[in-house]
Amino acid sequence: MEEIIVNYGIQFTLILIAIAAGLTLLFGVFQMLMSPKNAIKTIVAVAVLAAIIFGIYSIAPGEVTGIFKSSKYVEDMKITSGILKYAHTGILTSLFLIALATVAWIVLEIINIFR
């Protein structure tokens, strides 16, 4: 019984995520049509973010090393080089964006002090 509830819950969650992503894109396109000047800024910001993610993914090492070389992970093929590249990219991108936000916060607070 619990497996049925969990399986349907996961499917329902995926459907809700798809609906939310679709509505986000729909409202984003609508906002771009209503305000083209801001649309250019948004497109540039998304392009810069994509370039950052692509750059980090390009330099991410894909070799399986350390604990992941043990037989437990290799036999079941749970950890592949692709998974390691995605994980490395996600972690480094998060750290980079956190650092960027922190620096921006400090700089903007310093600017506000002198206004």
**Residue spans per domain, the chain:** 1-34, 36-115
- 69 or 18: which leads in pLDDT: 18
Residue 66 has pLDDT above 80, yes or no: no
Q: Which of 8-12, 32-36, 47-51 has the highest mean pLDDT?
A: 47-51
Cβ atoms 45, 97 nearer than 8 A: no
Give the model's pLDDT for residue 81. Answer: 78
pLDDT level of residue 96 (50, 70, 90 thresholds): very high
Give dist(CA 95, CA 50) in Å, integer.
Answer: 15
Give the model's pLDDT for residue 113. Answer: 94
CB neighbour list of residue 89: distance below 8 Å, 6 or more residues apart: 53, 56, 57, 60
Collapsed DSSP state (helix, strand, coil) of residue 73: helix
